[in-house]
C-alpha cells in the first residue's frame, strides 16, 4: 500500500479503535463521517467524468447518475465473483466507495440527478 493518505486514515482509525472507539466510528464510516465520505466519493466521480471541466454542475450530476446506475446494476451485484474489477479504475474506485458508504453504513441513498446536483454545487 503506497497511498500515504490511506495509511494515515487507517493508522488514526486503528489508534482510536484501540482506545475503545467503535471501529466504524473510528474510521469515520458511520454517521456524519460516512455521509461526508459518500459525498466526497460523488464529487470524485464528477471530477473524473468531467476531466476538462467543460460540463455544468447539472450535466455532471446527470453523468454521475448514469455512472452510478450502471455500477449499481452491473458491477456491484458481481462484487463477490469479480473483486479485482470492483475498483480497477479511479472512477470505479470512487463508485465502489459510494456504494460501500450507502450499503454498509446506513447513509441515505442518493440516486437522482437533483440530489447529486445539490451535493456537487457546493
pLDDT at 12 over 90: no
Q: CA 30 to CA 72: how far, in whole Å?
A: 21
What confidence score (pLDDT) does residue 28 get?
A: 67
- What is the C-alpha to C-alpha distance for residues 74 and 88, in angstroms, rounded to an integer? 15
> How high does pLDDT run on average in the chain?
84
> What does the pLDDT look like over 46-87, one tens digit per residue?
999 999 999 999 999 999 999 999 999 988 888 777 777 767
Cα distance between residue 102 and residue 37, in whole Å? 10
Report the alpha-carbon angle 103-108-110, nearest 5: 90
pLDDT of residue 26: 72
Query: Which positions ≥6 away from 90 have C-beta within 8 Å?
Result: 44, 48
Amino acid at each position: 500500500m503506497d497511498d500515504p493518505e490511506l495509511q494515515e486514515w487507517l493508522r488514526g482509525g486503528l489508534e482510536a479503535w484501540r482506545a475503545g472507539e467503535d471501529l466504524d466510528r473510528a474510521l469515520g464510516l458511520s454517521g456524519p463521517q460516512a455521509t461526508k465520505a459518500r459525498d466526497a466519493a460523488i464529487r470524485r466521480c464528477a471530477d473524473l467524468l468531467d476531466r476538462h471541466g467543460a460540463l455544468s454542475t447539472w450535466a455532471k450530476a446527470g453523468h454521475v447518475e448514469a455512472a452510478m446506475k450502471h455500477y449499481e446494476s452491473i458491477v456491484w451485484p458481481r462484487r463477490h465473483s469479480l473483486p479485482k474489477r470492483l475498483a480497477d479504475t479511479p472512477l470505479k474506485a470512487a463508485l465502489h466507495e459510494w456504494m460501500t458508504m450507502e450499503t454498509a453504513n446506513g447513509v441515505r441513498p442518493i440516486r437522482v440527478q437533483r440530489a447529486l446536483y445539490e451535493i456537487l454545487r457546493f
